[in-house]
Amino acid sequence: MPIAKIGEIHDLKTIDPETIPHVLLEGEMGAAIEWSVWETDHPERVKEHVIKRSESYVQQFLQMMCATMRQTPSSDPVATIDTGNVSRNLYLVGGLFASNVGYQWDVLAGAGIVTFGIVVGTGAVAPTISDYALGTLIAHGAGAGQLQYSAVTFGAPASNATTSQLTITRNHANASGGNITVNEVGLYCRAWDGTPRYIMIIRDVTGGIVVPNGQTLTVNYRPQAVV
């Protein structure tokens, strides 16, 4: 597959959202994970580009889905574990998300926010179904061991003859002065139990993505369904 030209860091349509990598089998629902490492000042210079099957929706994914699909009332909430390893009782009210419709399933984090959206870390332990957070989250910033998180954006849903998908994208720029190795990637979303909570729904280990100083890591999560 040819590598799409990557745009400037403020343009988050960095990998064509209508390009559909086929990583699932017929009848499956899952996700692709895609990443590129590129020079911040020369976005046409892609150092690494990988597309693979995402390894692990975790148990909170279906718990969140259950709470939403059955219009869960506060009298009968769905228990799930948040990213702080605290059990939360998720619910909806009156057929609408409680108080703020934007809280449930929200991954649209702004720049610098690491409580939800696509997040990266240094933990290298293999995923399990009960994972609730990254092993070691990489903080936002320009200090040692930190990456600068851009805002999350979406590509419009796209489909071809067999596969439909949507694309979630985030850039992580390294201005720390040294190399940073990203060993894990996750997708955190907001949920509701009377106040906003943060829930991990996907976690992948990468095998080690080296992001040199002055370069940027772009991560795409692409939830997909195949017929």
What pLDDT does 18 receive? 59
What pLDDT does 177 receive? 96
Q: What is the band of 103 on the pLDDT scale with cuts at 50, 70, 90?
A: low
Chain centroid to CA 163? 20
What pLDDT does 14 receive? 42
Structure confidence by residue, pLDDT tens digits, 54-72: 988 999 999 988 888 887 7
Structure confidence by residue, pLDDT tens digits, 137-150: 999 999 999 999 99
- Tell which residue, 140, 166, 151, 139, has the closest CA to residue 109: 151
Q: What is the band of 172 on the pLDDT scale with cuts at 50, 70, 90?
A: very high
Residues above pLDDT 90, as percent of the chain? 56
Whole-model pTM: value is 0.86
∠83-147-139 over CA atoms, to 5°? 35
Mean pLDDT, range 209-226, rounded to an integer: 94
For residue 84, give Cα distances in angstroms to 37, 108, 114, 129: 30, 20, 13, 16
